[in-house]
A and B are shown apart, each in its own frame.
Chain A
Amino acid sequence: MNNAAQPHIRIDDVTKSFGAFSALRSVTLDVPRGSFTTLLGPSGCGKTTLLRLLAGFDEPDSGSIRIDGAEMNGVPAFRRKTPLVFQDYALFPHMTVQENIAYGLKLQKARKAETAARVGEMMDLFGLQGLEKRLPKQLSGGQQQRVAFARALVTGRDILLMDEPLSNLDAKMRVEVRRELRELQRRAGITAVFVTHDQDEALSLSDYVAVFEKGRIRQAGTPWEVYYEPANAFVADFVGTANLLAGIVEDVRDGVLLVRCRDVLLRASSAGRTFRPGDRATLMIRPECLRIGADEGDAEPENRWMGAISGSSFLGRQVRYEVQCGETTLIVDDADPSVTGVLDGTVRLSCAADKIHVLSDEADSERKEGETHERIRPLSERRLG
Chain B
Amino acid sequence: MAIKKLKREPVLFLVLAAVLATACVFVLWPVVKVVSYPGAADYLQLLTNERWMRAGLNSLFMTVLSTASCTALAFLFAYSIVRLDIPLKGFFRFITLLPVVSPPFIVALSYILLFGRQGLVSKHLLHLNLDIYGWQGLWLVQTITFFPYAFTVIHGVMQAAAAHLEHAAHNLGASRWQAFRHVFLPLCRPGIAGGALIAAMNVLADFGNPMIIAGNFALLPTEAYMQMSGWFDLSAASVLSTALLVPALVLFLVNRLWVGKRSYVTVTGKESSLKAYPAPPALKWSLFACCLFVSLFVLAVYGVLVYGAFARTWGYDWSLTLQNMKYVTAKGSELWNSIRFAAVSSLGAVALAMLLAYLVQRKQVGINRLLDVLAILPGAVPGVFLGLGFAMAFNGPPFELAGTSAIMVLALLFWNLPTCYSACLAGLQQIGRSLEEASLNLGGGTLRTLRSVLLPLLRGPILSGFTLSFLRSVTCLSVIIFLYSSSTSVGTISILSLVQSGVWGGASALTVTLILIAFALLAASRLILFAYDRRKS
User: Which one, B174, B178, B264, contacts A94 given CB within 8 A?
Assistant: B264
Bound together, the chains give a CA A87 to CA B167 distance in angstroms of 13
Q: With a CB–CB cut-off of 8 A, which chain A residues contact B172? A: 78, 83, 103-104, 107, 151-152, 155
Is A57 among interface residues, defined by CB-CB distance under 8 A?
A: yes
A51: shortest Cβ distance to chain B, in Å?
11
Chain A 67-108 interface mask (CB, 8 Å, partner B; 1/0):
000000000111101111011101111100000000110011
Bound together, the chains give a CA A107 to CA B168 distance in angstroms of 13
Assess the B271–A78 pair: CB atoms within 8 A.
no
A179: shortest Cβ distance to chain B, in Å?
26
Is B266 among interface residues, defined by CB-CB distance under 8 A?
A: yes
Is A55 among interface residues, defined by CB-CB distance under 8 A?
A: yes
Is B165 among interface residues, defined by CB-CB distance under 8 A?
A: yes
Q: Name the residue in A87, A92, A137, A155 with the highest tally of chain B Cβ atoms < 10 Å from its Cβ.
A: A92
Bound together, the chains give a CA A94 to CA B182 distance in angstroms of 10
Assess the B271–A88 pair: CB atoms within 8 A.
yes
Is B164 among interface residues, defined by CB-CB distance under 8 A?
A: yes
Bound together, the chains give a CA A77 to CA B275 distance in angstroms of 14
B536: shortest Cβ distance to chain A, in Å?
32
Assess the B270–A88 pair: CB atoms within 8 A.
yes
User: Which one, A87, A94, A137, A155, contacts B173 given CB within 8 A?
Assistant: A155
Q: With a CB–CB cut-off of 8 A, which chain A residues contact B176? A: 78
Assess the B168–A76 pair: CB atoms within 8 A.
no
A57-B167, A83-B172 given; A103·B264 CB < 8 A: no
Is B169 among interface residues, defined by CB-CB distance under 8 A?
A: yes
Assess the A88–B268 pair: CB atoms within 8 A.
yes
Chain B 145-189 interface mask (CB, 8 Å, partner A; 1/0):
000000000000000001011011111111110110011001100
Assess the A77–B170 pair: CB atoms within 8 A.
yes
B182: shortest Cβ distance to chain A, in Å?
7
B137: shortest Cβ distance to chain A, in Å?
39
Is B336 among interface residues, defined by CB-CB distance under 8 A?
A: no
Q: With a CB–CB cut-off of 8 A, which chain A residues contact B277? A: 57, 77
Identity of the chain A residue whose Cβ is nearest the Cβ of B164 in the assembled complex = A90
Q: With a CB–CB cut-off of 8 A, which chain A residues contact B171? A: 55, 57, 77-78, 82-84, 152
Q: With a CB–CB cut-off of 8 A, which chain B residues contact A77? A: 167, 170-171, 277
Bound together, the chains give a CA A184 to CA B23 distance in angstroms of 65
A77-B167, A94-B186, A155-B173 given; A87·B178 CB < 8 A: no
Identity of the chain A residue whose Cβ is nearest the Cβ of B161 in the assembled complex = A93
Main secondary structure, interface of B, reads: helix
Assess the B167–A104 pair: CB atoms within 8 A.
no
Chain A 328-358 interface mask (CB, 8 Å, partner B; 1/0):
0000000000000000000000000000000
Assess the B173–A92 pair: CB atoms within 8 A.
no
B273: shortest Cβ distance to chain A, in Å?
11
Q: With a CB–CB cut-off of 8 A, which chain B residues contact A94? A: 186-187, 264
Assess the A57–B266 pair: CB atoms within 8 A.
no
Q: With a CB–CB cut-off of 8 A, which chain B residues contact A137? A: 266
Bound together, the chains give a CA A84 to CA B162 distance in angstroms of 17
Bound together, the chains give a CA A309 to CA B302 distance in angstroms of 81
User: Which one, B178, B183, B271, contacts A92 given CB within 8 A?
Assistant: B183
Chain B 264-287 interface residues, beta-carbon cutoff 8 Å to A: 264, 266, 268, 270-271, 274, 277
Q: With a CB–CB cut-off of 8 A, which chain B residues contact A87? A: 270-271
B24: shortest Cβ distance to chain A, in Å?
40
A191: shortest Cβ distance to chain B, in Å?
16
Q: With a CB–CB cut-off of 8 A, which chain B residues contact A78? A: 170-176, 178-179
Assess the B174–A86 pair: CB atoms within 8 A.
no
B483: shortest Cβ distance to chain A, in Å?
47
User: Which one, A88, A107, A151, A152, contacts B178 given CB within 8 A?
Assistant: A107
Q: With a CB–CB cut-off of 8 A, which chain A residues contact B182? A: 92, 103
Q: With a CB–CB cut-off of 8 A, which chain A residues contact B169? A: 92, 103
B389: shortest Cβ distance to chain A, in Å?
41
A77-B167, A86-B168, A88-B271 given; A93·B187 CB < 8 A: yes
A54: shortest Cβ distance to chain B, in Å?
11
Q: With a CB–CB cut-off of 8 A, which chain B residues contact A84? A: 168, 171
Assess the B173–A93 pair: CB atoms within 8 A.
no
Bound together, the chains give a CA A76 to CA B166 distance in angstroms of 13
Assess the A107–B174 pair: CB atoms within 8 A.
yes
Bound together, the chains give a CA A4 to CA B163 distance in angstroms of 37
B261: shortest Cβ distance to chain A, in Å?
13
Q: With a CB–CB cut-off of 8 A, which chain A residues contact B170? A: 56-57, 76-78
Assess the B266–A93 pair: CB atoms within 8 A.
yes
Bound together, the chains give a CA A118 to CA B176 distance in angstroms of 25
Assess the A90–B168 pair: CB atoms within 8 A.
yes
Bound together, the chains give a CA A92 to CA B266 distance in angstroms of 11
Bound together, the chains give a CA A93 to CA B268 distance in angstroms of 13
Bound together, the chains give a CA A91 to CA B268 distance in angstroms of 12
Chain B 464-479 interface mask (CB, 8 Å, partner A; 1/0):
0000000000000000
Chain A 145-166 interface mask (CB, 8 Å, partner B; 1/0):
0000001100100000000000
Bound together, the chains give a CA A81 to CA B178 distance in angstroms of 16
Q: With a CB–CB cut-off of 8 A, which chain A residues contact B173? A: 78-79, 81, 104, 107-108, 155
Bound together, the chains give a CA A152 to CA B171 distance in angstroms of 9
Bound together, the chains give a CA A84 to CA B170 distance in angstroms of 10
Assess the B167–A92 pair: CB atoms within 8 A.
no
A57-B277, A107-B173 given; A86·B183 CB < 8 A: no
A122: shortest Cβ distance to chain B, in Å?
13
Q: Name the residue in B170, B175, B179, B187 with the highest tally of chain A Cβ atoms < 10 Å from its Cβ.
A: B170
Chain A 288-324 interface mask (CB, 8 Å, partner B; 1/0):
0000000000000000000000000000000000000
Q: With a CB–CB cut-off of 8 A, which chain A residues contact B187? A: 93-94
Bound together, the chains give a CA A163 to CA B23 distance in angstroms of 56
Chain B 163-222 interface residues, beta-carbon cutoff 8 Å to A: 164-165, 167-176, 178-179, 182-183, 186-187
Q: Name the residue in A81, A86, A87, A108 with the highest tally of chain B Cβ atoms < 10 Å from its Cβ.
A: A86
Q: Name the residue in B173, B268, B271 with the highest tally of chain A Cβ atoms < 10 Å from its Cβ.
A: B173
Chain B 283-319 interface mask (CB, 8 Å, partner A; 1/0):
0000000000000000000000000000000000000
Identity of the chain A residue whose Cβ is nearest the Cβ of B168 in the assembled complex = A90
B507: shortest Cβ distance to chain A, in Å?
49
A167: shortest Cβ distance to chain B, in Å?
10
Identity of the chain A residue whose Cβ is nearest the Cβ of B262 in the assembled complex = A94
Bound together, the chains give a CA A104 to CA B168 distance in angstroms of 10
B183: shortest Cβ distance to chain A, in Å?
6
A-B contact pairs, 26 of them (CB 8 A): A55-B171, A57-B277, A76-B170, A77-B170, A77-B171, A78-B175, A78-B178, A79-B173, A81-B173, A86-B271, A88-B164, A92-B165, A92-B169, A92-B182, A92-B183, A93-B187, A93-B264, A94-B186, A103-B174, A103-B182, A104-B173, A107-B178, A151-B172, A152-B171, A155-B172, A155-B173
Q: Which 7 A-B pairs have the closest CB atoms?
A: A90-B168, A104-B172, A77-B170, A93-B264, A107-B173, A78-B170, A94-B186
Which residues of B pack against A, CB within 8 Å? Answer: 162, 164-165, 167-176, 178-179, 182-183, 186-187, 264, 266, 268, 270-271, 274, 277
Task: Give 15 new A-B contacts, CB below 8 A, not counting A57-B171, A103-B172.
Answer: A57-B277, A77-B167, A78-B170, A78-B173, A83-B172, A86-B168, A90-B271, A92-B168, A92-B169, A93-B165, A93-B187, A107-B173, A108-B173, A137-B266, A152-B172
